[in-house]
């Protein structure tokens, strides 16, 4: 499957064409939406090592439930909501398999999902954030979504997303300061 030439149609139009069975539109949509979905998986240490698999699983699920997209609605929050669901499933499975492996004790623990892959800075920065705040920051900052889109993707109210983002920023500011102070020659600027 070749990478499609630059398709000028909007993401929403591509999605509608995909629902109508247009293979070219489906391919164009995959190439357009996948990079930001991928960033979402890569941003989190727990899903980073499986980002390729999670992206494929997300598209399988998107394909299965593509009826649930309503024409006229934004595509990204819809796709993110499904990607988020895939990621949560992945966490649960990873947690269970780790627990099982621990209980057996005879088997070696599988490679932990938290591969750093050069993301030490990012992991150190986001370390103090609880999962819900971290998720909001990932969507706002890494995927470039708006508050409204994050609210739609996470099935929350906009007010709730604002509150989480506000709290996350407060912690992040403290964290940035800590990291600056800790770095050689660092200090608040």
Partner 1 sequence: MSDIPVSEPAVDEAVSRSLQRARGVAPAVLAGIARSVAGDLRAVTPVAPAWLLAVRLLAACAAVAAAGAAWAGFDGIRGLAPAEGAALLATLAILAIVMARECVARWIPGSRVRLGSGALLAGSCGILGVLFALLFRDHHAEHFVTTGLGCLEQGVLHAIPAALLGAFILRDGFATRPATAALAGGALAGLTGIAFLELHCVNFEAPHQLIWHIAVMPVCAALGALIAWAVTRPASAHS
Number of Cβ within 10 Å of residue 179's Cβ equals 14
| Spatial distance between the Cα atoms of 146 and 85, rounded to a whole number of angstroms | 19
| Spatial distance between the Cα atoms of 165 and 159, rounded to a whole number of angstroms | 10
Alpha helix positions (H), 21-74:
23-43, 45-48, 51-64
| Widest distance between CA atoms in the chain | 59
CB of 5 to partner 1, least distance (A): 14
Rule CB under 8 A: say whether 125 interacts with partner 1. Answer: yes
CB of 59 to partner 1, least distance (A): 5
Give how many residues touch partner 1 by CB under 8 A: 76
Q: Which of 9, 38, 98, 114 binds partner 1 (CB under 8 A)?
A: 38
DSSP state of 21: T
In the window 59-88, what residues touch partner 1 (CB under 8 A)? 59-60, 63, 65-71, 73-82, 84-85
In the window 153-182, what residues touch partner 1 (CB under 8 A)? 153, 155-157, 160, 169-170, 172-174, 176-177, 179-180
Q: Which of 31, 101, 114, 147 binds partner 1 (CB under 8 A)?
A: 31
């Amino acid at each position: 499957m070749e990478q499609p030439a630059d398709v000028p149609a909007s993401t929403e139009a591509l999605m509608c064409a995909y629902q109508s069975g247009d293979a070219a539109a489906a391919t164009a949509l995959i190439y357009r939406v996948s990079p930001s979905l991928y960033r979402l998986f890569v941003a989190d240490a727990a899903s980073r090592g499986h980002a390729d698999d999670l992206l494929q699983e997300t598209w399988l699920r998107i394909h299965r439930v593509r009826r649930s997209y309503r024409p006229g609605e934004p595509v990204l929050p819809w796709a993110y909501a499904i990607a988020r669901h895939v990621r949560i499933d992945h966490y649960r499975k990873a947690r269970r398999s780790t627990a099982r492996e621990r209980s057996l004790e005879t088997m070696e623990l599988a490679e932990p999902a938290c591969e750093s892959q050069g993301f030490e800075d990012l992991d150190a920065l986001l370390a103090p954030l609880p999962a819900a705040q971290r998720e909001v920051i990932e969507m706002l900052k890494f995927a470039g979504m708006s508050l409204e889109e994050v609210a739609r993707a996470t099935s929350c109210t906009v007010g709730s997303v604002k509150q989480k983002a506000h709290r996350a920023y407060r912690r992040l500011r403290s964290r940035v300061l800590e990291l600056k102070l800790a770095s050689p020659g660092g200090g608040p600027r």
